[in-house]
Structure 1
C-alpha cells in the first residue's frame, strides 16, 4: 500500500509559510503523512490526521562511515529514536556521511555496519525503523558516500536486520544511476 506523504522542508522553505495552513492544506489535499517535520509541529499534524513518517537522526554530512564519530552519532541517533517513539514517528533517517580519506567504499561499508548495528537494536526495542538514505553526490550532496543503491544495499544486507532498510529516493538515484524500475525490483526487500 502506498501512503502519500510529503517532505516538510520542500514546501516550507519560504519563511512566510504558515505551518498550520500548510499542514491543513496538505491533509485536505489527501496527504496521509509528513516527513522531517519539526518536532514542535507534530501535534498540529497529528490533530489533522497526518502521520509523522520520518525524522532525521543526525546531520547528513557526518555519518557512520567514519568510525571516529560512532560514539557521538550513536548517542545522537538513540536520542532521536526515543523522540520518534515518544511522538509516534515511524522512522529515523541515518546517513553514511561524506567520503573520508581515499573515499573507498569497502571500509566505509564496514564502518557503517559496525556503527549502525547497536543503533538498529535500540530502534527495534523502541518500535522505530531506521532508514539509510541514498543521496546523489552529483548535484545536491557533493561527496556523499551512500550515493548508489549498491552501497546502501551492502550495508543493509550485511546487517541483515529488518530494523534497517533503505530510504530509496527516486530523484537522487535517477541522477546517480537511472534504471529505477529494475533497481527497485532487484532491491525491493531492502527498501523501507
Structure 2
C-alpha cells in the first residue's frame, strides 16, 4: 500500500530538489562542455552528425577536424562544392541540399515543378556519384493552396523524380518545420500531413526529416510520434525548445529519453545537431549535446 500523500513532505522534497539544481547538479548525463576535455568513446548506437549552418563561425576545415575528433560521421547541409573537403576528413554529407529553390517555393505549388524536376534530377546524380544518400526537399508555403491540393501537387511532382532516385539509391527527404514561430505558412508543418504524403508516394526512397525542435513547437508529444510514425522518418534534427539553443537542462525537452526511443525503433540513419550555440565555447556545447544524445 502506498503512503498517504503528505503535502509538507512533498514541499520539502521539491525544495531539496531545487537546491540540488541550484548547486549545479543535473538530471542529464554529466559531461563538461570544455574544449580541453577528452571526448569519451561513443557507444555506436546513434550515427551522430551536425548541421553546417549552426557553426558557420568556423571554417569548414575547422569544423570537419572538430567533428572528426568527436567521432561524428558527417555534416548536414553542405553544398556539393564543399563535398571534397568532407571527404578529405573521411566524413559524409549526411543530408545533401542545393536542389531546392527555397523553403517557401516547393513541391506543393505546380508553378515550380518544371524547375524542381530539373534541379532534383541533376542533384540525384550528383549525390549518387559522390557516394552519399540523402537529399533534402521542402513542401513550400501554403499561400492560397489548401492542404489537400498541396498533397496532390507534391505527389504529382515528386513522382516524376522518385523513380530516378530509386535507381540511384538516393532518398528524398522532406523536412517537417514549425509554422508557428520560424516558418510561417509552411505546409509540411504536421507529422500526419507528411506521413500521408509518404503513403501516397509509396516509395522507400521518400522519407520525412523529423525535426524534434520544430515538431515540439507545432505538435508536442514527441516520443509517441516517434513510436507511431518512425517508419516514415529517414533523418532527425535536434535543438532546444524554446530558442533553438543548447539541448541541456536549460530547455524543456529531455533528449536522453527521446534518443532512447529512436534507438528502440532500430533507426540506422543520422541524427544531426541543429541547435544554435548560445555559449561562448560553441564546440564545447556540441560535445555536450553529442554525449547527451549518445544512448
Distance in structure 2 (CA, Å) of the matches to 1:144 and 1:40? 28
Matches within 5 A, 1:102-181: 103-181=145-223
Distance in structure 2 (CA, Å) of the matches to 1:5 and 1:178? 24
**Alignment match, 2:52:** 8
Deviations 1:32-89 (A, max 9, x none): 1111112222122122121111122302111110112211111111111111112222
Pairs aligned (count): 188
**Alignment match, 1:75:** 118
Instruction: State the shift of 1:150 in Å.
Output: 1.0
TM-score by length of 1: 0.93
Greater radius of gyration (CA): 2
**Alignment match, 1:61:** 104
Q: For structure 2, which runs of at least 5 residues remain unmatched after alignment?
A: 1-44, 235-295
Moved over 4 A (4+): none
Q: For structure 1, which runs of at least 5 residues remain unmatched after alignment?
A: none
Question: 2:140 aligned with 1:97, yes or no?
Answer: yes
RMSD: 1.2
- Bigger shift: 44-53 or 91-100? 44-53
